[in-house]
Amino acid sequence: MELMCDNNVFLDYVLDREPFAAAAAELLAAAAFGDVRLTITTAMTTDLFYILNKAYGPKEVQKRISDMLEFIGLCGVSSQTARKALEEQWNDFEDCLVSCCAEEIGADYIVTRNEKDFAQSSVPAVQPAFILNELRERGLSYDQVDL
């Protein structure tokens, strides 16, 4: 399953935001085991660094992001992608970039806690719990995995 992931899911995991952290951790575990392909935009890495730097400092953030990139893919935001997102004229440019990148990589879903933000997307937006339920139906569970 090919997934484009929104920033809020990673922030839930790294900042241990309850009640969302457990589902985010399971989703990342599924990616670490290779049961899903999880991708973020390259632009998200700078957003994550900026936000997490306030909580952890640069050395720790560099390590955390580097560790996550061992099992998470990156979708580069080209000038063509940025132009397409601008032409779409969504209210939130970043969400539109995520949607455009999801299309580029052939994602099955955009994983986010803010599904309504992707109402205009051609790629369906779902909660992490939706993906985890799909995986459980295939006999896969990650609730006992510690990353």
Q: pLDDT for 65-118, tens place per residue?
A: 999 899 999 999 999 999 999 999 999 999 999 999 999 999 999 999 999 999
Domain presence at residue 142: no
Neighbours of 75 (CB within 10 A): 21
22 lies in a domain? yes
Q: Do 107 and 123 touch, CB atoms closer than 8 A?
A: yes
Structural domain contains residue 146? no
Q: What is the pLDDT of residues 3-27, one digit of tens each?
A: 999 999 988 988 889 999 999 999 9
Which residue range(s) make up the domain with 53? 2-137
Query: Quick check: is 53 in a domain?
Result: yes
Across the range 113-124, mean pLDDT stands at: 96
For position 126, what pLDDT does the model report?
A: 98
Cβ partners under 8 Å of residue 123, min gap 6:
4, 99, 102, 103, 107, 108, 109, 110
Residue 22's pLDDT is 95
Residue 124, preceding peptide bond in cis (omega within 30° of 0)? no
The domain that holds 66 is classified in CATH as 3.40.50.1010
Q: Give 127's pLDDT tier (boundaries 50, 70, 90).
A: very high
What pLDDT score does 84 carry?
A: 94
For residue 144, tell me if it sits in a domain.
no
Q: Is residue 35 part of a domain?
A: yes
Say how many domains are in the chain. 1
User: Where does the pLDDT of residue 147 fall: very low under 50, low under 70, confident under 90, or very high at 90 and above?
Assistant: low
Q: Residue 61 — very low, low, confident or very high, per pLDDT cuts 50/70/90?
A: very high
